[in-house]
Chain A
Amino acid sequence: MTGSQPTDVAGFSVPGRSRGLLDVFGYRYLLRLLVRKGILTRYHGSVLGWTWSYVKPAAQFIVFYLVFGIFLDLNRGIPGFPVYLFSGIIVINLFNEAFSNATKSIVDNAPLVKKIFLPRELFPVATVIVAFVHFLPQVLILLLVCLWVGWAPTWIGIAGILLGALIVVIISTGLGLLFGAVNVSFRDAQNFVELVLLFATWTSPVLYSWTMVRDTVPAWVLEIYMLNPLTAAVELFHEGFWLPTISEAVERPDSLWLNAFLALGLAIVLLFVGQFAFRRLEGRFAQDL
Chain B
Amino acid sequence: MPKTSELTGVPRIVVNDIRKTFVLRHTHSFKEAFIAWLRRKKLTTVFSALDDVSFTIGEGESVALLGYNGSGKSTLLKLISGVLRPNGGMVLTRGRVAGLIEVGAGFHPDLSGRENVYLNAAILGMTRKEVDANFDRIVEFAEIGEFIDTEVKHYSSGMFVRLAFSVAIHTELDILLVDEVLAVGDAPFREKCKAKIAELSSQNKTMLVVSHDLDMVAELCQRGIVLERGRKVYDGDVKTAIGEMISRGSSK
Chain A positions near chain B (C-beta within 8 angstroms): 1-6, 8-9, 11-17, 29-30, 33-34, 36-37, 40-41, 44-45, 111-118, 185-188, 283, 286-288
**Residue from the list A1, A4, A30, A188 in contact with B123, Cβ < 8 A:** A30
**Could you tell me the distance in whole angstroms from the C-beta of A1 to the nearest C-beta in chain B?**
6
- Of the listed stretches B8-16, B188-196, B206-214, B238-246, name the one at the interface; the rest are far from the partner chain: B8-16
Please classify how large the interface on chain B is, using the bins under 10, 10 to 19, 20 to 34, 35 or more.
Answer: 35 or more
Contact between chains at A16 and B82 (CB < 8 Å): yes
Contact between chains at B119 and A13 (CB < 8 Å): no
Interchain CA distance A44-B85 in the complex, whole Å = 37
| B79 CB–A CB distance under 8 Å | yes
Interface on chain B toward A: helix, strand, loop, or mixed SS? Answer: mixed
Contact between chains at A37 and B115 (CB < 8 Å): yes
Sample (13) of A-B pairs whose CB atoms are under 8 Å apart: A3-B16, A3-B17, A6-B11, A13-B92, A33-B119, A37-B111, A40-B110, A111-B102, A111-B106, A115-B105, A116-B123, A117-B81, A186-B30
Question: What residues of chain A lie closer than 8 Å to B82, measured between beta carbons?
Answer: 14-17, 117
Contact between chains at B123 and A2 (CB < 8 Å): no
Question: What residues of chain A lie closer than 8 Å to B108, measured between beta carbons?
Answer: 37, 41
Question: What residues of chain A lie closer than 8 Å to B83, measured between beta carbons?
Answer: 16, 113-117, 286
Please judge, given known A-B contacts A14-B90, A188-B29, whether A115 and B101 are in contact too, CB under 8 Å.
yes
Question: What residues of chain B lie closer than 8 Å to A36, measured between beta carbons?
Answer: 115
Contact between chains at A1 and B110 (CB < 8 Å): no
**Residue from the list B30, B99, B122 in contact with A115, Cβ < 8 A:** B99
Question: What residues of chain A lie closer than 8 Å to B25, measured between beta carbons?
Answer: 185, 288
Please judge, given known A-B contacts A17-B82, A283-B85, whether A12 and B106 are in contact too, CB under 8 Å.
no
**Could you tell me the distance in whole angstroms from the C-beta of B165 to the nearest C-beta in chain A?**
14
Interchain CA distance A2-B30 in the complex, whole Å = 40
Contact between chains at A14 and B124 (CB < 8 Å): no
Contact between chains at A287 and B99 (CB < 8 Å): no
Contact between chains at A116 and B99 (CB < 8 Å): yes
**Residue from the list A11, A33, A40, A283 in contact with B122, Cβ < 8 A:** A33
Interchain CA distance A283-B20 in the complex, whole Å = 12
Question: What residues of chain A lie closer than 8 Å to B16, measured between beta carbons?
Answer: 1, 3-5
| B128 CB–A CB distance under 8 Å | yes
| B222 CB–A CB distance under 8 Å | no
Contact between chains at A286 and B78 (CB < 8 Å): yes
| B200 CB–A CB distance under 8 Å | no
**Could you tell me the distance in whole angstroms from the C-beta of B79 to the nearest C-beta in chain A?**
7
| B94 CB–A CB distance under 8 Å | yes
| B54 CB–A CB distance under 8 Å | yes
Please judge, given known A-B contacts A3-B54, A6-B11, A30-B123, whether A112 and B111 are in contact too, CB under 8 Å.
no
Question: What residues of chain A lie closer than 8 Å to B54, measured between beta carbons?
Answer: 3-4
Contact between chains at B81 and A45 (CB < 8 Å): no
**Could you tell me the distance in whole angstroms from the C-beta of B198 to the nearest C-beta in chain A?**
24
Contact between chains at A12 and B122 (CB < 8 Å): no
Interchain CA distance A41-B153 in the complex, whole Å = 13
Known pairs A116-B99, A117-B82; list 8 more (Cβ under 8 Å).
A1-B16, A11-B94, A36-B115, A37-B115, A111-B106, A116-B105, A116-B124, A286-B78
Question: What residues of chain A lie closer than 8 Å to B33, measured between beta carbons?
Answer: 186
Contact between chains at A1 and B90 (CB < 8 Å): yes
**Could you tell me the distance in whole angstroms from the C-beta of B167 to the nearest C-beta in chain A?**
12
| B155 CB–A CB distance under 8 Å | no
Contact between chains at A40 and B111 (CB < 8 Å): yes
| B97 CB–A CB distance under 8 Å | yes
Contact between chains at A29 and B110 (CB < 8 Å): no
| B35 CB–A CB distance under 8 Å | no
